[in-house]
Structure 1
Amino acid sequence: MEYRALTVTIEQKIAHIVLNRPAELNTMNVDFWRELPHAVRQIDEQASARVIVISSTGKHFTAGMDLGVFMNPKNISVHGDPGRSAENLRRLVLQLQDAFNVLETVRIPVLAAVQGGCIGGGLDMISAADCRYCTEDAFFCIKETDLGMTADVGTLQRLPHLIPQGMIRELAYTGAKLPAQRALDIGLVNAVYPDQESMLSAVQQIALEISKRSPLAITGCKQMINYTRDHSVQDSLSYMATWQSGMFRPEDMMKAFSAKAQQMEPDFEDLHPIKPPFAAE
Structure 2
Amino acid sequence: MHTIDFSTLKTLSVSIEHHIAHIQLSRPEALNSMIPAFWSELPAVVRQIDADAKARVIVISSQGKHFSAGMDLSVFTEMGKSFNGEPARRAERMRRMVLELQDSFNALEEARIPVLVAMQGGVIGGAVDMVSAADCRYCTEDAYFTIKETELGMTADVGTLQRLPHLIPQGLVRELAFTGRNMRAQEAQSCGLVNQVFSDQSSMLAAVMAIAAKIAMNSPMAVSGCKEMLNYSRDHSVNDSLNYMATWQAGMFQMPDVQEAMTAGQQKRLPEYAPLHKKMSSM
Short-chain TM bin: over 0.9
Matches of 1:71 and 1:211, distance apart in 2: 41
- What amino acid is the match of 1:48? K
Structure 2 length-normalised TM: 0.96
Report the alpha carbon displacement of residue 263 of structure 1 after superposing the two structures with TM. Answer: 0.5
Match of 1:47 among 53, 63, 82: 53
Matches of 2:174 and 2:266, distance apart in 1: 51
Match of 1:21 among 24, 27, 46: 27
Matches of 2:78 and 2:167, distance apart in 1: 33
What is residue 159 of structure 1 aligned with on the other side?
164
Report the alpha carbon displacement of residue 72 of structure 1 after superposing the two structures with TM. Answer: 1.7
Give 1:59-208 correspondences, 5 Å limit.
59-72=65-78, 76-208=81-213
Report the alpha carbon displacement of residue 67 of structure 1 after superposing the two structures with TM. Answer: 2.2
SS at match of 1:78: coil
Runs of 4 or more above 6 Å deviation: none
Do the aligned residues in 2 keep the contact of 1:76 with 1:85 (CA within 8 Å)?
A: no
Is there any run of 5+ residues in structure 2 with no aligned partner, and where? none
Structure 1 length-normalised TM: 0.97
Matches of 2:85 and 2:112, distance apart in 1: 42
Per-residue Cα deviation, 1:153-193 (whole angstroms, up to 9, x for no partner): 00000000000011000000000000000000000000000
1:9 paired with 2:10, answer: no
Match of 1:254 among 240, 251, 259: 259
Matches of 1:80 and 1:31, distance apart in 2: 26
SS at match of 1:28: coil
Matches of 2:267 and 2:196, distance apart in 1: 33
SS at match of 2:271: coil
Per-residue Cα deviation, 1:6-54 (whole angstroms, up to 9, x for no partner): 0000000000000000010000001111110010000000001000000
Do the aligned residues in 2 keep the contact of 1:60 with 1:117 (CA within 8 Å)?
A: yes
Percent identity over paired residues: 61
Matches of 1:148 and 1:77, distance apart in 2: 18
Matches of 2:75 and 2:227, distance apart in 1: 32
Per-residue Cα deviation, 1:121-176 (whole angstroms, up to 9, x for no partner): 00000000000000000000000000000000000000000000110000000000
Q: What is the alpha-carbon root mean square deviation over aligned residues?
A: 1.1
Do the aligned residues in 2 keep the contact of 1:137 with 1:180 (CA within 8 Å)?
A: yes
Is there any run of 5+ residues in structure 1 with no aligned partner, and where? none
What is residue 62 of structure 2 aligned with on the other side?
56
Report the alpha carbon displacement of residue 77 of structure 1 after superposing the two structures with TM. Answer: 1.8
Per-residue Cα deviation, 1:61-101 (whole angstroms, up to 9, x for no partner): 0000012112126x852221011011101100000000000
Give 1:221-232 correspondences, 5 Å limit.
221-232=226-237
Do the aligned residues in 2 keep the contact of 1:112 with 1:132 (CA within 8 Å)?
A: yes
